Amino acid sequence: MVLPEPSAALPPMTAKAPSQSTLSDWLTAVDTFLWGPWLLIPLLLGTGVWLTFQLRGIQLRMLLPALRFAFLDRDDQERDSAEGDISHYQALTTALAATVGVGNIIGVATAIHLGGPGALLWMWVTALFGMASKYSEAFLAVRFRTTDRNGKQSGGPQYYLREAVRGPLGRFLSVFFAVATLLACFGIGSMTQSNSIAAQLQHSFNADPPLVGILLAIAIGGVLLGGIEAIGKVTSAFVPMMIVFYVGGCLYILAVNISAVPGALALVVSSAFTSQGAVGGFLGSTMIMALQYGAARGIFSNESGMGSAAIAAAAAKTQHPTRQGLVSMTQTFIDTIIVVTCTGLVILSTGTWTGDDPATMTAQAFTTGLPGDWGHYIVSVSLVFLGASTILGWAYYGERCAERLVGVHGVLPFRLFFTVLIFLGTVTDLKDVWTFADIANGLMAIPNLIGLLLLAPLIARETRAYLEQDPRLRCDGTSFSSVPQDSGH
């Protein structure tokens, strides 16, 4: 997920009325409970561990074939016999668009600032087990996807919870997820992202926020009118480019500071189990804090287990759910193991992790590590483009949930309202909106995780049956149905 701390993009707040303070305090209390160490973090990690066991470590034994299939093999995605609206590569980049962004840049700095360098190790742990969750939800999204009245593929937790979890429980979980996703996309997917973009452009280039909002709303609105096909084309073009641009800057800094990298890695491992580096005195200087902030920010960054990326996976042209599940699994690897790791090591190897402001920590690291004083521009440009791509990804998530709740006639009104919120985000104070979006993200995860736990035997059984026939993903796919015949739940 791409949710930074509210202070990362917003100016200092003015004094609030008592009623507003009460609302803010209530939202903060709910947010702290949801994302604290006793609810979502153990539930997300526990689900990932259980799915890893059920799937026999699929994220490790199938990673290389999955990467090859996602980025090198393109024959299957173009077949007329493969159902879907976009290629599996475009589905991957659409999901990456919604996840790789502010959280990979500022969220990593926040985790290290609050939890110490050891938080980075726990981000890796969440990614490792989260890959099994991401595989599972993408598998189910394709397995139980439907076609709407406009001929578009619709899938994700809002459908597979209803279809695969029988009875009132499944219907309740389905609607719960769809409503929570709609609420989340209005916050994290529109207003907060445009607010961050406007703040970055104003800081680096003195751009006028209302003008930024108008231009951004027009550009994003134009793409949204083209539907998932247009979104897929845009994200497949510039999301990989921006990731390479940002990671390239990171690799240059690490190469220049190569002598400091081994020490940074050693610090990550050693402080993950000790009190070193975390802020906040005694209460903030424990292994628990490193685990909590590392796990929470890792989950925010890659969204594994939250169900959002499964909505994009359902639109993919694929011959079998296993294939798209493996492609989607690589998203978590790219997001956390590659991009988050690069950010974390740059911050640690340049020594800027000891600073007081996580909002500027990564920019300071780039300024320190690159020649001249223009390094922060790379961070600003990356934040702007990746933030815009996040808006596109979440717009698609929201419209598919609107379609689930009210039908296809709700898609166009959703797109128009979503576009208006993009502009409002650039000119509005959003502190409470950040917290509300945080809560909605957590509420999304709960029904999805319940569904993954209930459906783990089905996922494992059908995955095993497919991989016994095509263990290296080399078959042409024409002999496999997109919906397996085994329907036992």
pLDDT in tens, 426-457: 988 777 787 888 888 899 999 999 999 999 99
* Out of 44-53, 107-116, 384-393, 415-424, least confident range: 107-116
- State the pLDDT at residue 76: 47
Token pair of 137, please? 């939800």
SS3 104: helix
Helix (H) or strand (E) holding 146: strand 146-147
Tell me which of 67-81, 190-204, 348-362, 419-433 is least confident.
Answer: 67-81
208: in domain: yes
232 part of a folded domain: yes
The pLDDT of residue 9: 37
Return the CATH number at 153.
1.20.1740
At 1, the pLDDT band (50, 70, 90 cuts) reads very low
Strand partners, 153: 147
pLDDT of residue 79: 53
Residue 474 lies in a domain: no
Q: What is the pLDDT of residue 354?
A: 85
**Mean pLDDT to the nearest integer, 468-485:** 66
CA 131 to chain centroid, in Å, comes to 12
Q: What's the confidence (pLDDT) of residue 74?
A: 58
Q: What are the pLDDT digits (tens) for 293-334? A: 788 778 777 889 999 999 999 999 988 999 999 999 999 999
List strand residue ranges (DSSP E) for 149-222, in order.
153-154
Q: So what's the pLDDT on residue 11?
A: 37
187 within domain boundaries? yes
Q: How far apart are CA 89 and CA 236, in angstroms?
A: 7
Q: Would you say residue 4 has pLDDT above 60?
A: no
Backbone phi and psi for residue 102, each to the nearest 5 degrees, phi listed first: -60, -40
Record the pTM: 0.89
| Res 134 pLDDT > 50 | yes
Judged against a pLDDT cut of 60, whether residue 175 lies above it is answered with: yes
Rounded Cα distance between 357 and 89, Å, is 37
Q: Report the pLDDT value the prediction gives residue 381, as an integer from 0 to 100.
A: 87
- What's the pLDDT score for residue 2? 42
pLDDT digits (tens, 9 = 90+) for 176-218: 999 999 999 988 888 888 988 888 888 778 899 999 999 999 9
pLDDT at 431: 76
167: left (phi over 0), alpha (psi -120 to 50) or beta: left
The alpha carbon dihedral of 320, 326, 327, 328 has a sign of: positive
Q: How confident is the model over 93-129, as pLDDT tens digits?
A: 999 988 887 778 878 888 898 888 999 999 999 999 9
73, pLDDT greater than 80 = no
pLDDT value for 356:
78
Number of domains in the chain: 1
Query: pLDDT category, 399, cuts 50, 70, 90?
Result: very high
The predicted pLDDT at position 5 comes to 43
286 band by pLDDT with thresholds 50, 70 and 90: low
- Local confidence band at 279 (pLDDT 50, 70, 90 cut-offs): low
For residue 350, pLDDT over 70 is answered with yes
Q: Are 198 and 212 in contact (CB under 8 A)?
A: yes
Asked if residue 11 is part of any domain, the answer here is: no
- Answer yes or no: is 360 within a domain: yes
Distance, in Å, from the CA atom of 175 to the CA atom of 74, rounded to the nearest integer, reads 35
pLDDT band at 463 (very low <50, low <70, confident <90, very high): very high
Measuring CA to CA, which residue among 374, 415, 379 is closest to residue 4? 379
Let me know if residue 165 belongs to a domain. Answer: yes
Q: Are 114 and 289 in contact (CB under 8 A)?
A: yes
Per the domain annotation, does 4 fall within a domain?
Answer: no
Tokens of 419: 């576009």
Q: What is the pLDDT of residues 400-413, one digit of tens each?
A: 999 999 999 999 99
- Is 482's pLDDT higher than 50? no
Range of the domain at 325: 31-469
